[in-house]
Amino acid sequence: MTDAPWWRSAVVYQIYPRSFADSDGDGIGDLRGIIDRVDHLARLGVDVVWLSPIYPSPQDDAGYDISDYENVDPTFGTLADLDELIATLHDRGIKLVMDLVVNHTSDEHPWFVESRSDPQSAKRDWYFWRPPRAGMEPGQPGAEPTNWVSFFSGPAWTLDPATGEYYLHLFARKQPDLNWENPQVRSAVYRMMRGWVQRGVDGFRMDVVNFISKAVGPDGSLPDGVVQPGTAPYGDGSAGYICGPRIHEFLAEMNREVFAGLSTVPITVGEMPGVTVEDAVLFTDPARAEVDMVFQFEHVSLDQGATKWDVHPFRLRDLKASFGRWQAGLAKTGWNSLYWNNHDQPRIVSRWGDDGAYRVQSATMLATVLHLHRGTPYVYQGEELGMRNMPFASIADFRDIESLNHYAVAVERGEDPEQVLAALRVMGRDNARTPVQWDASPHAGFTTGTPWIGVNPDYPEVNAAAQVDDPGSVFSHYRRVIALRHDEPAVAHGDFTMLLPDDDAVYAFTRAYTDDRGTVELLVLGNFTGDEVRAEVDGWNGAELLLGNYPDAPDGVEQLRPWEARVYRRTFSS
Q: Which is nearer to ligand ISL, 64 or 76 (CB)?
A: 64
Contact status, residue 27 vs residue 451, Cβ threshold 8 Å: yes
Counts of helices then strands in the chain (DSSP H, E)? 15, 18
- Report the greatest alpha carbon distance in the chain: 76
Q: Which is nearer to ligand ISL, 192 or 468 (CB)?
A: 192
380 binds ligand ISL (CB under 6 A): no
Is 418 in the active site? no
Q: Which is nearer to ligand ISL, 268 or 368 (CB)?
A: 268
DSSP 390: P
Which of 47, 60, 81, 207 is the catalytic position?
A: 207
Q: Which is nearer to ligand ISL, 146 or 341 (CB)?
A: 341
What does the alpha-carbon distance between residue 183 and residue 126 come to, in Å, rounded to a whole number? 9
In angstroms, what is the minimal distance from the CB of 49 to ligand ISL? 16
Taking CB under 6 A as the criterion, the residue among 37, 124, 299, 308 binding ligand ISL is 308
Per CB under 6 A, which of residues 114..133 are in contact with ligand ISL? none
60 binds ligand ISL (CB under 6 A): no
171 binds ligand ISL (CB under 6 A): yes
In angstroms, what is the minimal distance from the CB of 402 to ligand ISL? 6
Taking CB under 6 A as the criterion, the residue among 7, 13, 50, 64 binding ligand ISL is 64
What does the alpha-carbon distance between residue 233 and residue 413 come to, in Å, rounded to a whole number? 13
In angstroms, what is the minimal distance from the CB of 212 to ligand ISL? 12
In angstroms, what is the minimal distance from the CB of 269 to ligand ISL? 12
DSSP 124: G
In angstroms, what is the minimal distance from the CB of 83 to ligand ISL? 25
Specify the length of the chain in residues. 574
Q: Of 145, 231, 256, whose CA–CA distance to 413 is shortest? A: 231
Q: Which is nearer to ligand ISL, 308 or 479 (CB)?
A: 308
Taking CB under 6 A as the criterion, the residue among 22, 224, 303, 344 binding ligand ISL is 344
208 binds ligand ISL (CB under 6 A): yes
> What b/e string do you get for 203-237 counting C-beta neighbours within 10 Å, with b at 16 or more?
bbbbbbbbbbbbbbeeeeebbbbeeeeeeeebbbb
309 binds ligand ISL (CB under 6 A): no
Which of 61, 224, 271, 279 is the catalytic position?
A: 271
What does the alpha-carbon distance between residue 19 and residue 341 come to, in Å, rounded to a whole number? 15
In angstroms, what is the minimal distance from the CB of 175 to ligand ISL? 6
Strands (E), 393-531: 495-499, 506-515, 518-527
What does the alpha-carbon distance between residue 226 and residue 45 come to, in Å, rounded to a whole number? 47
384 binds ligand ISL (CB under 6 A): no
Q: With the C-alpha atoms ordered 319, 321, 326, 328, is the resulting torsion angle positive or negative?
A: positive
Give the CA angle between residues 314, 320, 325 to the nearest 5°: 130
Q: Of 90, 320, 362, 327, whose CA–CA distance to 200 is shortest? A: 90
In angstroms, what is the minimal distance from the CB of 104 to ligand ISL? 7
378 binds ligand ISL (CB under 6 A): no
Say whether 297 sits in a helix, a strand or coil: coil
Q: Which is nearer to ligand ISL, 207 or 354 (CB)?
A: 207
Binding mask 132-151 for ligand ISL (x = CB under 6 A): -------------------x
61 binds ligand ISL (CB under 6 A): yes
What does the alpha-carbon distance between residue 215 and residue 343 come to, in Å, rounded to a whole number? 29
Helix (H) or strand (E) holding 559: strand 559-560
Contact status, residue 248 vs residue 282, Cβ threshold 8 Å: yes
What does the alpha-carbon distance between residue 210 and residue 272 come to, in Å, rounded to a whole number? 5
Helix (H) or strand (E) holding 566: strand 565-573
DSSP 150: P
What does the alpha-carbon distance between residue 343 and residue 351 come to, in Å, rounded to a whole number? 14
81 binds ligand ISL (CB under 6 A): no
Sheet-wide strand order for 544-548: 495-499, 506-515, 518-527, 565-573, 544-548
154 binds ligand ISL (CB under 6 A): no
398 binds ligand ISL (CB under 6 A): no
Q: Which is nearer to ligand ISL, 211 or 323 (CB)?
A: 211
Contact status, residue 427 vs residue 308, Cβ threshold 8 Å: yes
Q: Which is nearer to ligand ISL, 222 or 300 (CB)?
A: 300
In angstroms, what is the minimal distance from the CB of 248 to ligand ISL? 20
214 binds ligand ISL (CB under 6 A): no
22 binds ligand ISL (CB under 6 A): no
Taking CB under 6 A as the criterion, the residue among 273, 274, 329, 554 binding ligand ISL is 273
Q: Which is nearer to ligand ISL, 196 or 563 (CB)?
A: 196
101 binds ligand ISL (CB under 6 A): yes
Bond preceding residue 17 cis, omega within 30 of 0 = no
Is 271 in the active site? yes
Taking CB under 6 A as the criterion, the residue among 384, 402, 430, 488 binding ligand ISL is 402
In angstroms, what is the minimal distance from the CB of 293 to ligand ISL? 16
Binding mask 403-442 for ligand ISL (x = CB under 6 A): --------------------------x-------------
What does the alpha-carbon distance between residue 540 and residue 538 come to, in Å, rounded to a whole number? 6
Per CB under 6 A, which of residues 448..507 are in contact with ligand ISL? none
DSSP 238: G
Please work out the total of residues on this chain that contact ligand ISL, with binding judged by CB under 6 A. 13
Packed helices 277-284 and 316-329: angle between N→C axes, nearest 10 degrees: 40
Q: Which residues bind ligand ISL (CB under 6 A)?
A: 61, 64, 101, 151, 171, 207-208, 273, 308, 343-344, 402, 429
Residues annotated as catalytic (active site), given as ranges: 207, 271
